[in-house]
Amino acid sequence: MLENSKVIIDIDSCTRCKACANECHYYYFDSDNMHFHEEMEECCIECGKCVAICPVNAIRLKNHQNETLIDVPAIDELPSFESLSKLFKIRRSRRQFKDKPVPKEIIEKILDVAGRYSATGDNQENVYFTVVQDREILKILSNECTAQVRNLVEKYEDPQGRESLGSVFDPSMMQKIKEVIPSFKRKLKLIESGEEVWRWDAEIIILHSPKDSISLIENCALAASQIMLAAETLGLGTCSLGYINTFLNQFRSISKGVKLPIKHAAGYTLAIGYPKAHYYRIPARKPLKAKWF
């Protein structure tokens, strides 16, 4: 065996095809002998490409060396471009959900593939998922969002309160608050009439990572995008919850209610549930905006 702290290689099985060295510069061959570059110990991100490209399955990552690996399917086993095109086009943000719980195993099925296999910067695999299905916790979450928004609106509309906000938030944040106050006031009126406007009465999935994570927002957004598409194939609808995501990061009373780790930041939050409305056609989109050089 040839090994370091991250990789183990069955040299007897190796055919010296050099596919690994062509894929990753941390491998090289001296005559017919395989070697690791000295910087591999520090710089290898354990992406697994060397494992994927070895035709004889001689390379394993130590973190996963006891797992059974899945063979890459043939091209004709993958969904066609036409099939994927339909999926991309029919996905819509849903704001009407049935009063019907989503079985835990269905959400787990989605997260285990669409979430776990999503790309992450530097292969950190650092996206965490908090699923909130408990109706009482969801109600408390919505009520806390409403309380914080009502408090914010009241403070902003009072001169002394606005001055107090200005001492806490920087000018750019104050400008954002100014822009959303009209929207918040409309939502408060809808709430008074009995509507739920923060999560549309759906269950939620919070995607989060340690605050110092590389590409935190991008990683969570990539995973959320895949989750939204996967949900469609199982008869579920989703909706991005930008307000709740912001509130989770701004108000500890809200993030604490769903036990979000104090050292984590929410990167994306989704509503998920069984859609109530049925759509009959796909709305038109603006023309493609692209340049080629």
Q: How far is CA 70 from the centre of its chain?
A: 23
pLDDT at 190: 96
Model confidence over 229-262: pLDDT tens digits?
Answer: 999 999 999 999 999 999 999 999 999 999 999 9
What are the φ/ψ torsions at residue 8 (nearest 5 degrees)?
Answer: -130, 135
- C-alpha 51/C-alpha 69 separation (Å) is 9
Residue ranges of domains in the chain, CATH in brackets: 2-64 (3.30.70.20), 74-280 (3.40.109.10)
Lowest mean pLDDT among 138-142, 168-172, 276-280: 168-172
CA–CA separation, 145 and 137 (whole Å): 12
pLDDT band at 68 (very low <50, low <70, confident <90, very high): confident
Q: Looking at the DSSP assignment, which residues form a beta bridge with residue 272? A: 203, 238
Q: What pLDDT is stored for residue 193 in this prediction?
A: 96
The mean pLDDT value for 4-21 works out to 93
Average pLDDT over residues 41-51: 93
Token look-up 């005559």 returns 31
Q: Find out whether 8 and 65 touch, Cβ atoms under 8 Å.
A: yes
Give residue 31's pLDDT.
81
Mean pLDDT of the chain: 95
CA pair distance 50, 60, nearest whole angstrom: 8
User: Over pLDDT 70: what percentage of the chain?
Assistant: 100
Distance of CA 270 to the CA centre of its chain: 9
Q: What is the pLDDT of residues 69-113, one digit of tens each?
A: 889 999 999 999 999 999 999 999 999 999 999 999 999 999 999
The one-letter amino acid at 28: Y
Q: How confident is the model at residue 145 (pLDDT cuts 50, 70, 90)?
A: very high
